[in-house]
Structure 1
Amino acid sequence: MSEINTLAAFYAFSGGALWLLGSLLFIGFDKTNTQANRWLGAFYCILACAFTQLFLEGFGIGGGFFIHLLELPRWAMLPCLYMAVNHYVSPSSLKKDWLLHFVPFLLFLIFSLVYLMPDLFNGQNHLPVLPPWIRFIVRYFFFGQTVYYWIVCFFLLRRHQKNLKMVASFTEKIDLEWLRYLLISVLFLIFVRILSISNIHVTYYSPILYFLGIILLAYLTLSQKSIYATETYPAAEKSEITPKKALNERLTPEQVEELKHIVMRKTVGDKLYLDPSLTLSALSDKIGISTHELSYILNNGVGKNFYQFINELRTEEAKSLLLSEDTRHLDMLGVAIRAGFNSKTTFYTTFKKATNLTPKEYIKANSAAG
């Protein structure tokens, strides 16, 4: 029994860590991601309620009324995570329908206030007997809600990372990669919960597994990068669902070909790609066409998104620099910067993808050929 209680104590560690983490997010330890962090803080605080409940039940502490109070906000947990991810991927947009995501929680709250809590408040330690269909909803709705919102959050982040390459040539500081790992950590907690229902060994060690998952959540949250200001591209999503006919009516094939030559001449001839901070809107201003037209020309005329187009031109520049006698004194970071890259990571990744060689391998291969 003492060993079981020792393991159950990890629920207290998990709950305490989550309460602390949620409080830090609410008071605003990071002033740039305030709204998103507050929603994430709400998610952590509700999750802390769940672990506090598990701890109290494990040690037989607290009455039915208090335990139910801790369980009450659970249906709002995953909507809070969804709102947090939504604000991380689009911090400037107004979420007009946010209240709709909390309708199930509000209904459960009303149901509890009317049917459940009066009996608990009057001294009963157990919930009243409910009809089978209500018990089914209460038991399984949260699981379905969890799976649904995790999938939605994952695709929100994927769409954000995809759309970034439509407008930016440098994405390391705005791709929210840390958030992807945070969602994976949440998925780990979900799997532990699922496996603990069916596997006695996982059930036994689940308090420790939960604690390890929460430590990872805390690390990722506290080491998050700020949301850097970046332009939005409202048509990035819309263009994916706009019929080709409508797009063709705006720009004919002849116009696309003509504008493609202008884009290539300006971008390559004036070496606009050497600007490490170049974005879609900046390039469209320098060329003299709209961002929507430029994006359409790149996607349909050149066959590349903005990120691919600019970084492949930078790769060609880097090839020349790597073999030039005038730049032999530069290290790889120096070559990357001279070629227009803002990051050695982007330089290496793009160069390897384009040539199947690292920059050093490219130098060696061309030296041997010479």
Structure 2
Amino acid sequence: MNPRKVNILANFWLGILLFSFGCTLLDRPFLHFNTYVQYPNLIGVSELLSFAMAPSLYLSVVYFTSPGRKLTKTDFLHFIPWLLFLLHQLPFLFQSADTKLYLLTHPSPIPPNPYFGLVMFYIIKIQVVVYWILAYRKLLKHQKNIQLIASTTEYINLKWLKNFLFILACMVLLWFNEEFFKISIISTLTPLGYVLSTYFIVYFSLRQEEIFPYPPKDQVYINEIILESEQPVINKTQRLSSEKLEQLKIELHYRMQAEKLFLDSDLDLPDLASKMNITSHELSFVLNEGFGTNFYQFINTYRVEEAKTLLLSEKHHHLNMLGIAYEAGFSSKTTFNTYFKKTTGLSPSQYQATVKKQIQ
């Protein structure tokens, strides 16, 4: 379910993850209530879908963090283990329902290949751990990359997805306890753990915001900027001449001082580039090469300077700290306090008290 129609491709993979995970969880009640006896065609489906969980988790995070990314053939290479398992299971899956039921209730006198079963048992566990780590690293990189294009990151930092991954990790640990550790107190709490985890997974999924609400052209630019930021310095493209770079630096500084564009709490890289009649690529180059900073730091530094003025202004003495934050262009008190202290070494209230004491 994606009622808000946001992050379409990312939610496509997230849907595959949740469907596969849900079907895997159903294996236990199906066995307990003899569901497989009533519906033999369901036999083997949960095992097959379990191999789709880990790669779909990773691809979901990839698409959440990559603006403008299109579905590619290489994405499906992650499903090679699933394909191999499918090919192995095909002879069984094409059996009739009666044959499957017979095989379920009458074990074969010829034991199956023990090595294949052992390999499959461990591959799915290793796959889940490896892809979870890759997804988490991708998410951490995203939280750094969005500072290249946004001055306010609360709504696009995918914190909900980070929580989502931690909940999944808890469910995996419950699963591993059942398979390997057999700690009794954890086993007792496992059903409750699965229920609560499922609830929070759905909750975090449904409250997501659109990550990159830009036109397709801007999404392509943003994706290229992010990819370039991860390249070595020697591979950076020289997008502007030295003369043009200096000219744009002067213009950008002037417009920040004269027009106070930073007061717009929703200001982002494409918006500012449009106001200066240059591309997002060029503006990113000016910030990186001309000022040695990223968009987030550049804009919020101006906001901090504005906040300093407001904190000492008699005209604004009636405002509390949240009011000061909003007046300076910050969208939340948390970001205001964090970045102010990072820049000045003092909290806003400490700065106000210290400077006023010095003046007196």
Normalising by structure 2, we get a TM-score of 0.83
Q: Say which of 118, 132, 150 aligns to 1:150.
A: 132
**Correspondence 1:180 to 2:162:** yes
Aligned twin of 2:46: 70
- Change in Cα spacing, 1:333 to 1:205, as seen in structure 2 (3 Å) is closer
Unaligned ranges ≥5, structure 2:
none
Aligned twin of 2:88: 111
Q: Say which of 70, 91, 96 aligns to 1:94.
A: 70
The alpha-carbon deviation at position 35 of structure 1 amounts to 4.2
Aligned twin of 1:224: 208
| AA matched with 2:5 | K
| AA matched with 1:166 | L
How many residues of Structure 1 are paired with residues of Structure 2 in the alignment? 344
Alignment check: 8 A CA contact 2:270 2:280 kept: yes
What whole-Å deviation, never above 9, does each CA across 1:54-109 have from its counterpart, x for those lacking one?
Answer: 22335666347644233221111222323333333346431113333333223322
- Change in Cα spacing, 1:35 to 1:313, as seen in structure 2 (3 Å) is same
The alpha-carbon deviation at position 123 of structure 1 amounts to 0.7
| AA matched with 1:101 | H
**Correspondence 1:84 to 2:60:** yes
Q: Report percent identity of matched pairs.
A: 35
Aligned twin of 2:272: 283
* Structural mapping, 1:1-370, within 5 Å: 25=1, 28-58=2-32, 62-63=36-37, 66-90=42-66, 92-97=68-73, 98-114=75-91, 118=95, 121=100, 123-125=102-104, 126=107, 129-196=111-178, 197-201=180-184, 202-227=186-211, 229-230=213-214, 231-232=218-219, 233-247=222-236, 250=239, 259-370=248-359
| AA matched with 1:314 | R
Alignment check: 8 A CA contact 2:263 2:303 kept: yes
Moved more, 43-52 or 219-228: 219-228
Equivalents in 2 of 1:285, 1:299: separation in Å? 18
Alignment check: 8 A CA contact 1:161 1:175 kept: yes
Alignment check: 8 A CA contact 1:53 1:67 kept: no
Q: Over the residues paired in the alignment, what is the CA RMSD in angstroms?
A: 2.9
Equivalents in 1 of 2:314, 2:241: separation in Å? 45
The alpha-carbon deviation at position 175 of structure 1 amounts to 1.8
Alignment check: 8 A CA contact 1:256 1:297 kept: yes
The alpha-carbon deviation at position 309 of structure 1 amounts to 0.8
Moved more, 346-355 or 112-121: 112-121
- Change in Cα spacing, 1:366 to 1:300, as seen in structure 2 (3 Å) is same
Normalising by structure 1, we get a TM-score of 0.81
- Change in Cα spacing, 1:79 to 1:244, as seen in structure 2 (3 Å) is closer
Moved more, 285-294 or 163-172: 285-294
What whole-Å deviation, never above 9, does each CA across 1:285-341 have from its counterpart, x for those lacking one?
Answer: 434544323323322332221101100110010110111011122333332232122
